[in-house]
Amino acid sequence: MPQWPDLIENRPDNDNGLKPRMRVRHVLTEGHRVELAASAMQRNDAAELGDLMNKSHESCANDYEISCPELDELVETMRDAGALGARLTGAGFGGCTVSLVATADVDMVLNRVWESYYAKREIESRRRDEVLFACSPAPGAGVVR
């Protein structure tokens, strides 16, 4: 069976603007990144998980084209502030980011992002805790008996 790069890399995109080669590349590489991320989390390898999040954002932005300049800047700001990885989340198109930050660095990163990104913008909220917050992983939904 041919590997995924052979299936998509040598095929032109449509002239109708749908860009199926780019979209398929994103979907296939994102699926592979999910598998690698699960493995990295099982090994407690935060550096690899952060790198995978960064690659995911690049693919979302470039191959799937669901980011925007402001969201790309926020992702970059998160990384520059000390996040191990950052990517868009939700539907993209100007939504939110999710970032991987060491527990000891959370306040520093949030303060840097507030000053570097939000403080220079006209936003409805002037409170940091309304636009930036930290959370921790927890078990997903399940049946409670």
Q: Which pLDDT does position 37 carry in this prediction?
A: 98
Phi first, then psi: give them for residue 73, nearest 5 degrees.
Answer: -65, -40
What element of type H or E holds 73?
Answer: helix 69-81
Task: Indicate the burial class of 112 (C-beta count within 10 angstroms; 0-12, 13-18, 19 or more).
Answer: middle
The most distant pair of C-alpha atoms in the chain lies apart, rounded to whole Å, by 55
- Which residue type does 55 have? K
pLDDT attached to residue 95:
78
Q: Quick: pLDDT tens for 63-105.
A: 999 999 999 999 999 999 999 999 999 876 677 999 999 999 9
Q: Band of the pLDDT at 6, cuts 50, 70, 90?
A: low
The structure's pTM equals 0.85
Question: What's the CATH superfamily of 4-130?
Answer: GHMP kinase, C-terminal domain (3.30.70.890)
pLDDT(4) > 60: no
Cα separation, 76 vs 117, in Å, equals 10
Helix, strand, coil abundance in the chain, percent, nearest 5: 55, 5, 40
Question: Which whole number is the average pLDDT over 32-56?
Answer: 98
Confidence (pLDDT) at 2: 45
What band does 140 get if pLDDT is binned at 50, 70 and 90?
Answer: confident
